[in-house]
Amino acid sequence: MQTATIAFDRFNQMQDDACHERIRIARARLGKRAVILGHHYQRADVYQYADLTGDSLKLSRLASQTDAEYIVFCGVHFMAEVADFMSKPHQIAILPDLAAGCSMADMANLAKVERCWRELNEVLNADEVFTPVTYINSAADLKAFCGAHGGIVCTSSNAETIAKWAFGQREKILFFPDQHLGRWSGYKMGIPLDEMMVWDPDLEMGGLTPEQIHKARLLLWKGHCSVHQMFQPAHIIKFRNQYPDGLVIAHPECSFEVCKQSDFVGSTELIVKTIKEAAPNTRWLVGTELNLVNRLAEEVKAEGKSVHFMAPTVCMCSTMQRIDPQHLAWTLENLADGHVVNQIKVPEHEVGLARLALERMLAVS
């Protein structure tokens, strides 16, 4: 017989040790009915329970290949959305804390993007001139917008490849929500900086003149990651002065200036792979989220590798930090008792178009 749904209030003030015990018991009760996904940026006390680890798209793809009934995504909202529309019909995507969002994703919402599209149409025919490209770090309705307008999704590892495809469709790109990933990708393709304009969604016509819109090959949404925004060229200069033989690797969500001064630029998966495959006794400065950097530093320490966090201040994904042992224990106990909590369900009218934009990406990359 099913018990009543357990209210989160009973877990809110619970000590971590008690939560960890209840997590272990609930996981044992669930068995293979649930798969726990842990994003690279997840806090260590939750990450330890992950059945699968990696970046957001990798995790959704892996989860869809399991037979688990419940996909418990220890990440943020847009990641659970992707897991929902990529998964099998019987699978249910769950986010342990609905407040775990993404500040970057929130910088571009459907209303603002649709307004941008209307304003672009006042200058030229947007559907004939622009290919919309959304970073996977965006809401499902924006992925659906791209699907409806001949656009596509990209990741931090394939953004340049996707941009080349997009230019093959139309002469210009509208790239959102992260301006830094878009700018770095355009730069690697040889696009001059003065042909990459920033569209400010809070200003009329994005703050641009018709002449600037005509000139721009790449319109970059004024959005950024609050974590990667913290890293500065001065941090790299200080590191190189102290360790002349040290190597610098940064995520492309970092500013253009940071990327340009780095030895390597790439996704979280590439950062992990590059450092793990590097020669022993090498020293690295890493520009990405703190939980990943700390975990990586421990994993390669035995090989004499030193891994340094780029910023002098603590800098982690605060929204992903919301998923704590208390929320995970509450989620798993409810599932074990037969109660689905915090299900993430993308509306049916968005699913087909969002999947179309994602499938275009998978076909290209």
Task: Provide the 3-class DSSP secondary structure of residue 237.
Answer: helix
Mean pLDDT of 19-25: 96
Which two structure tokens, joined as six digits, stand for 133?
Answer: 């490209």
Q: In the chain, which ranges are continuous DSSP H helix?
A: 9-12, 16-30, 44-47, 56-64, 77-86, 103-106, 110-123, 126-129, 140-148, 159-169, 179-188, 210-215, 233-242, 256-261, 268-276, 290-300, 325-336, 348-364
Q: What is the mean pLDDT of the chain?
A: 95
CA distance 279 to 283: 10
Mean pLDDT of 251-269: 97
Give pLDDT, residue 151.
98
pLDDT in tens, 263-273: 999 999 999 99
Give pLDDT, residue 2.
59
Give pLDDT, residue 56.
86
- Candidates 317, 237, 318, 252; CA nearest to 285 is 237
CB 263 within 8 A of CB 249: yes
* pLDDT reading at 28 higher than 50: yes
pLDDT in tens, 103-140: 899 999 999 999 999 999 999 999 999 999 999 999 99
CA distance 174 to 113: 10
pLDDT in tens, 281-298: 999 999 999 999 999 999
CB 250 within 8 A of CB 284: no
% of the chain with per-residue pLDDT over 70: 99
- Any idea what DSSP says for residue 217? S
Q: How confident is the model at residue 7 (pLDDT cuts 50, 70, 90)?
A: confident
pLDDT in tens, 232-242: 999 999 999 99
CB 219 within 8 A of CB 206: yes
Mean pLDDT of 324-333: 96
Mean pLDDT of 339-357: 96
Indicate the range of 3-12, 30-39, 173-182, 206-215 predicted with least confidence: 3-12
Give pLDDT, residue 1.
44
Mean pLDDT of 147-156: 97
The residues with which 152 forms a beta bridge, in sequence order, are 133
CA 173, 175, 179, 183 dihedral sign is negative
Residue of higher predicted confidence among 57 and 119: 119
Rounded alpha-carbon distances, angstroms, from residue 122 to 210, 214, 240, 351: 9, 12, 49, 29
- The CA-based angle 38-39-45, given to 5 degrees, is 55
Q: How confident is the model at residue 316 (pLDDT cuts 50, 70, 90)?
A: low
In the chain, the domains with their CATH numbers are: 9-101+319-346 (3.40.50.10800), 105-226 (3.40.50.10800), 228-309 (3.40.50.10800)
